[in-house]
Structure 1
Amino acid sequence: MAARFSCRSFRSEPVARATIERILTAAQKTASWCNSQPWRIEITSGGATESFRKLMYEAASSGRPPSGDFAFPREYRGVYLERRRESGFQLYSALGIPRGDKAGYAMQALENYNFFGAPHVAIIHSDEALGTYGAIDCGGYVTNFMLAAQALGVATVPQAALAFHSDVVRTYFGLGDDRKVVCGISFGYPDPGHKANSYRTSRASIAETVRFKDE
């Protein structure tokens, strides 16, 4: 957990199918409400990654409005806004994008749809009828997928951005209306020399996030 980070530059080298299957086998142990295991996964490799990359980048750069299956945060405020800004400024600073450079911010945001050069993308989707609880279970799956990948030397970046255009995702993978796109995970081997991978985000202390009540 301490070693894992959101990788934003990958080498083009693909991950062996046997390694991907080891990651999936470990992640499948994720706990879920009533053991429903609502997650389903679509994984691209090779030409499929390239065609999906092109499709998603075109959708994102066209200015079309978001079409997510789950409500996005209404707003970030207080400490949540502070943490979001800190994370963003760390990335922009590492890449040499000046504060206030909105065009630079926008170009970097579009890199989500290039999958940061990753050779693979996993799309996680849930059963519509399970609603928020299905999505929560998928969140547990995403965490375990990333930790299993880290243990095998594979880098990951979880991407809510890929769910911003869930209609494009659904069409590409032929998903029914009963499947709701939760997020994506781009993954592969990291480019350790890239500036986007040169920093690490902070974490709040236990005192900031936990209250103990003994009486």
Structure 2
Amino acid sequence: MATPNTPRPTAAPAGTTPAYETLSTLLHTRYSCRAFLPQALERATIERILATAQRTASWCNAQPWQLTIASGATLARLRSALQAHVAAQAPAPDLPWPREYRGVYQERRRQCGWGLYEALGIAKGDREASARQAAENFTMFGAPHVAIVSSDEALGLYGAVDCGAYVGNFLLAAHSLGVASIAQAALAAYPGVLREVLGIAPDRSIVCGISFGLADPAHPANLFRTQRAAVGDSVTWRD
């Protein structure tokens, strides 16, 4: 069975602060949860996450993100509707998905997938088992809550960028309170279903979903951790 391989923070630079240490710890220990316990969170806990994420910086302070949070019977209806459409219809997201993953981006994507499959005991090339795991996206991995994130369609790319920043802060705020989460582009594949079940207006572009709740600590999917590239792989200095 795979074991957690959480990167440890490197030595902090001179002049570090408690706030830096806290943020660094949150970033190094957060992970994408792929198996949740069924119990719902208290509304006050969710509201704390939302209040912190709302401080996200945005282009011209437009704050384009809107969340529709489904729980209980509504979430059950959404699961059923998505699973029916996945079996019968091709994805048709509002925002275009990547044209291709190439070079190092393809390598990282493959490493992520293979690492998860290894944790779950899925052999390379077992397409049936990998398809079953992919379909778990549309059960929200058993999470008791899902937030569908949308942006004003007129804001285009920059609205989506702002929503991405918001999603990152939502994940960190949740983790700081012991709440597990996973951002899911897969849920944006069927925007018509989301609009029909959740009443999301047609002038909102569906960006992604965030499933969240308490992690199932015994599930092998939650023992898997991704790695990050070295800073030098992402930065070019021009002095």
User: In which range does the TM-score fall when normalised by the shorter chain?
Assistant: over 0.9
Q: Which residue of 1 aligns with 2:209?
A: 184
Is 1:131–2:156 an aligned residue pair?
yes
Q: Which residue of 2 aligns with 1:44?
A: 70
Whole-Å separation in 1 of the counterparts to 2:225 and 2:87: 28
Is 1:21–2:47 an aligned residue pair?
yes
Q: If you compute each CA radius of gyration, which structure gives the higher value, 1 or 2?
A: 2
Whole-Å separation in 1 of the counterparts to 2:101 and 2:219: 29
Whole-Å separation in 2 of the counterparts to 1:173 and 1:45: 11
RMSD of equivalent CA atoms: 0.7
Q: Which residue of 2 aligns with 1:4?
A: 30
What TM-score comes out, normalization by structure 2 length?
0.88
Per-residue deviation, 1:176: 2.1
Instruction: Point out where structure 2 has 5 or more consecutive residues left out of the alignment.
Output: 1-26
Whole-Å separation in 1 of the counterparts to 2:224 and 2:123: 17
Whole-Å separation in 2 of the counterparts to 1:164 and 1:194: 26
Q: What residue identity is the alignment partner of 1:170?
A: R
Q: Secondary structure at the match of 1:181?
A: strand
Kept in 1, the 8 Å contact 2:77–2:197? The answer is no
Q: Which residue of 2 aligns with 1:156?
A: 181
Moved more, 51-60 or 118-127: 51-60
Whole-Å separation in 1 of the counterparts to 2:200 and 2:38: 28
Q: What residue identity is the alignment partner of 1:139?
A: G
CA displacement 1:110-160 (0-9 Å, x = unmatched): 000010000000000000100000000000100010000000000000000
Q: Identity, % of aligned pairs?
A: 54
Q: Which residue of 1 aligns with 2:109?
A: 84
Moved more, 199-208 or 170-179: 170-179
Per-residue deviation, 1:2: 1.0
Q: Which residue of 2 aligns with 1:207?
A: 232
- Corresponding residue to 1:193 among 214, 218, 221: 218
Whole-Å separation in 2 of the counterparts to 1:21 and 1:74: 36
CA displacement 1:80-121 (0-9 Å, x = unmatched): 000000000011111111100111111110000010000000
What TM-score comes out, normalization by structure 1 length?
0.97
Kept in 1, the 8 Å contact 2:147–2:211? The answer is yes
Whole-Å separation in 1 of the counterparts to 2:92 and 2:197: 15
Q: Which residue of 2 aligns with 1:60?
A: 86
Q: Secondary structure at the match of 2:190?
A: helix
Q: Which residue of 1 aligns with 2:130?
A: 105
Whole-Å separation in 2 of the counterparts to 1:187 and 1:112: 12
